[in-house]
Structure 1
Amino acid sequence: MPRHTSDPIPRSPDLSHSPDSHGTHFPRWMLNLKGTKVKGGLRLGEVLGTGAFGVVYVGAGSHFADNRPVAVKVLSAAGIGSERRRQIEHEMLCHSRVSKHPNIVTLHRVFVDLMAYYAVMDLHADGDLFKCITEDEFYVGNDAMIKVVFGQLLDAVEFCHENGVYHRDLKPENILCRNRGNTVLLTDFGLATRNTFSQDFRCGSEFYMSPECVGFPKVRAYSTVHNDIWALGVILVNLITSRNPWKCAEPQDGGFASFYEDPAGYITDTLPVSRDALVLLLRIFRIPFESRLSISGIRAAITNIDRLLLTPAEAAFAPHSARQTAAHLFDIIAARRPHVLIEHYEDICAYFPDLAEGLCERLRLDMSEHGLINDVDDIFSENAPEPVRHFHRELPEWSVPIPIEIRPEQLEDVIGYPQSPDMSRDNSAETAGSEGPITPDTHPIHVADDVPEVALDGAQGLEGRMEEMKIAGPADLPSVTALSAFSSRIARVLGSTGSFFR
């Protein structure tokens, strides 16, 4: 969405499709190929989607992929010049070099006739990673799933680099999913290069371009390896928070300008990520690019992270933007995976009371639906505390805010940080325009317009940002003993039944 210039804090586009400023560059007849027979007995079916330069069809009736339906990417060969022909063949060459990896879409064959190129690939009809993040909401609060999926993506990109292929257009729309989002596969090599350094600036999608690729700071050429690593960092933010850190990594972007000035301060004030996740992001988003964490370093770091989001107790004392984003994420978790919040129930009551009633209701429905207890109302009526905003207690050890080292001057003007953008599908700045997606386009989606957008941060020292806190409040409110007893009863009933919940 466009920035709201009337807001005191500017807002960047949310996680929805941005219009492609370049439009489409293929003849209309390419949309009317249903029923056409291609070589190898392949017949084109319904249109799956369109891109800047091509159309993707369902294909059937061939011996490819054990006679399963396939995806057929059709690119016009009629009336194109030698340079465009070279680009198409380069895309197919790059894809074929890495096609055998289990987390890269398999390219079976490429046919060409007088009218078009036909690239035959595996069909993954579950949609792309963008859909799994924004519509299906598979990943919010599901740290184990995020780590598995992000690890698969790291493996795929590392395999590409080891084989001399640098993608340059990594984004959720170019990552296909299957098994309800548990398996991801990289696709669309339309902007890939074999060069480790490139002078093709602003190549890719602007949300995911590295500063060097955008042209900041001024360099003669940018590293395509480190450009991909930067994009991986943005995708990790997408997975954890359903937000983008900024619209474009250039000084003209308010979010990125604040990040560049104060990396640790900006990300802490805008993204409700845990301290360990913060440290990892700061190591990925380093400038200059030579100091950026390697893919193997990212893999090792994320493997050792216990949790990626702030707990409710930590989020309650986060800056306004991060707190609001956390509240939105907790609301999604309460609806999708309520068991994740059971151990934090008393903190939800205390600091996010608007969510407490919905969380109780969701737990009640799920436990009743799955027959976990006979009289579910007993759990939620007897000794169940009323939601309260404050009570007097010391935070348990797991919820003590993480000390982060920040210079005092960084704390003076936190309210002035721009909010980072919600996630959005971004095709608006694809300078070279990839030749067409494997997945269908989806209609624009806007993730909670009133939820602040999230931004990212740089990479220096992190000790001492959030001081250790005690929560002070009226002494006559419900005791922590009653709250603990209530959440303990739920936990005892559920035991290890988390897998029963969606």
Structure 2
Amino acid sequence: MSQCLNPECLTINPDNFQFCQKCGDKLLLVERYWAKSILGQGGFGRTFLAVDEFKPSKPFCVIKQFLPQAQGTETVAKAAELFAQEAERLELLGKHPQIPELYAYFSVDSRQYLVQEFIKGETLQQELDSRGVFNESQIRELLIDLLSVLQFVHSHNVIHRDIKPENIIRREADKKLVLVDFGAAKVLPKTQRRTVTGTVIGSAEYCAPEQSMGKAKSGSDLYSLGVTCLHLLTQMNPFDLYDVMEMEWVWRDCLNGNFVSDELG
């Protein structure tokens, strides 16, 4: 089966059809990629599972289509800029074995696309939903695995800005954790005045205070990774793990017998 990429259509077509039987659009993207199914959709894009016809093994890949839902010329222009920057980040960082590799970036019919490596596996959120809370040893393994990936990202002056359980996939083949979705990532200038405020971006419940004010830094990613661990240990929304009145984290009150040593805490 082939999925039509026309946002107004999205009809599923039988294999070997060259054009959508409903809208007539061409199905083979840039004469190379067959979209097979929709993987997900966010505010600025839709992702498809696809097949690469140019490679002998016809491997799976991911097509990400820029599809702004936001209103306003300025907002859409900023989103388009971020989408183009995501391609640049992936090209820069995708040589790391735990970051998806960028295969292509192009425009067709005035729509932007990027094609990247498909990571087969479950997100940490899916693991949490199906298997329950993580224990201390699992959290230690997670940190050891991911901190080296973040060190690589930060060594290229890039901050991810959207670290959360949904953006970390345990790859089925080798059980390694893969950091995905660099759509919010940013390259830090070598020198930047402290007064400069950037775009506020990321998932609010995992966001460091300085990032929520548009002043994200490398440490903001570490904060988000820490909050991710708290969520995995408790299966609770991070907002519920922070006491606003006392201005302190109270996650230990929500462990329900899940032991966490003072050292790791």
Q: Does 1:50 align with 2:37?
A: no
TM normalised by structure 1 equals 0.42
**C-alpha distance in 1 between matches for 2:64 and 2:93:** 17
Opposite residue 244 of structure 2, the aligned amino acid is: A
- The equivalent residue for 1:140 is 134
- The equivalent residue for 2:96 is 101
Q: Does the Cα contact within 8 Å between 1:202 and 1:209 map onto a contact in 2?
A: no
Q: Does the Cα contact within 8 Å between 1:133 and 1:242 map onto a contact in 2?
A: yes
SS in structure 2 at match of 1:70: strand
Q: Does 1:256 align with 2:247?
A: no
How far residue 28 of structure 1 moved from its aligned partner, in angstroms, is 3.8
Tell me which of 114, 119, 144 is aligned to 1:119.
114
Q: Which has the larger radius of gyration?
A: 1
Opposite residue 95 of structure 2, the aligned amino acid is: K
Q: Does the Cα contact within 8 Å between 2:66 and 2:80 map onto a contact in 1?
A: no
Tell me which of 199, 220, 231 is aligned to 1:227.
220
- The equivalent residue for 1:358 is none
Structure 1: state its 5+ residue gaps. Answer: 1-26, 216-220, 248-253, 282-502
**C-alpha distance in 1 between matches for 2:233 and 2:252:** 14
Q: Does the Cα contact within 8 Å between 1:103 and 1:155 map onto a contact in 2?
A: no
How far residue 131 of structure 1 moved from its aligned partner, in angstroms, is 0.7
How far residue 270 of structure 1 moved from its aligned partner, in angstroms, is 3.5
Q: Does 1:177 align with 2:156?
A: no
- The equivalent residue for 2:205 is 207
More helix per residue: 1 or 2? 1
Q: Does the Cα contact within 8 Å between 1:129 and 1:181 map onto a contact in 2?
A: no
SS in structure 2 at match of 1:67: coil
Q: What are the residue-to-residue correspondences of 1:484-499 with 2, within 5 Å?
A: none
How far residue 214 of structure 1 moved from its aligned partner, in angstroms, is 2.9
How far residue 154 of structure 1 moved from its aligned partner, in angstroms, is 1.5
How far residue 30 of structure 1 moved from its aligned partner, in angstroms, is 6.8
1:92-117 per-residue CA deviation (whole Å, 9 max, x = no partner) reads 11122111111112222223223322
Opposite residue 243 of structure 2, the aligned amino acid is: F
1:301-321 per-residue CA deviation (whole Å, 9 max, x = no partner) reads xxxxxxxxxxxxxxxxxxxxx
**C-alpha distance in 1 between matches for 2:151 and 2:188:** 15
Tell me which of 126, 129, 140 is aligned to 1:131.
126
How far residue 83 of structure 1 moved from its aligned partner, in angstroms, is 4.2
Alpha-carbon distance change, 156 to 40 in structure 1, aligned in 2, over 3 angstroms? farther
How far residue 32 of structure 1 moved from its aligned partner, in angstroms, is 4.5
How far residue 39 of structure 1 moved from its aligned partner, in angstroms, is 1.8
Q: Does the Cα contact within 8 Å between 2:46 and 2:66 map onto a contact in 1?
A: yes
TM-align CA RMSD: 3.2
Q: Name the structure, 1 or 2, with higher relative contact order (CA <8 Å, separation 6+).
A: 1
**C-alpha distance in 2 between matches for 1:32 and 1:56:** 15
1:222-241 per-residue CA deviation (whole Å, 9 max, x = no partner) reads 34212111101011112323
1:139-193 per-residue CA deviation (whole Å, 9 max, x = no partner) reads 634x444333332222222211111111111111112232289322111111111
1:279-314 per-residue CA deviation (whole Å, 9 max, x = no partner) reads 444xxxxxxxxxxxxxxxxxxxxxxxxxxxxxxxxx
Q: Does the Cα contact within 8 Å between 1:140 and 1:240 map onto a contact in 2?
A: yes
Alpha-carbon distance change, 255 to 151 in structure 1, aligned in 2, over 3 angstroms? same
Q: Does the Cα contact within 8 Å between 1:30 and 1:74 map onto a contact in 2?
A: no
- The equivalent residue for 1:165 is 158
Count of residue pairs brought into register by the alignment: 237
Q: Does the Cα contact within 8 Å between 1:54 and 1:74 map onto a contact in 2?
A: yes
More strand per residue: 1 or 2? 2
Alpha-carbon distance change, 122 to 258 in structure 1, aligned in 2, over 3 angstroms? same
SS in structure 1 at match of 2:92: helix
Opposite residue 66 of structure 2, the aligned amino acid is: L
Tell me which of 102, 105, 109 is aligned to 1:110.
105
1:111-138 per-residue CA deviation (whole Å, 9 max, x = no partner) reads 322332222122234332211111243x
Q: What are the residue-to-residue correspondences of 1:1-80 with 2, within 5 Å?
A: 28-29=7-8, 31-32=10-11, 36-63=27-54, 66-76=57-67
SS in structure 2 at match of 1:150: helix
Opposite residue 48 of structure 2, the aligned amino acid is: Y
1:350-396 per-residue CA deviation (whole Å, 9 max, x = no partner) reads xxxxxxxxxxxxxxxxxxxxxxxxxxxxxxxxxxxxxxxxxxxxxxx
**C-alpha distance in 2 between matches for 1:166 and 1:30:** 36
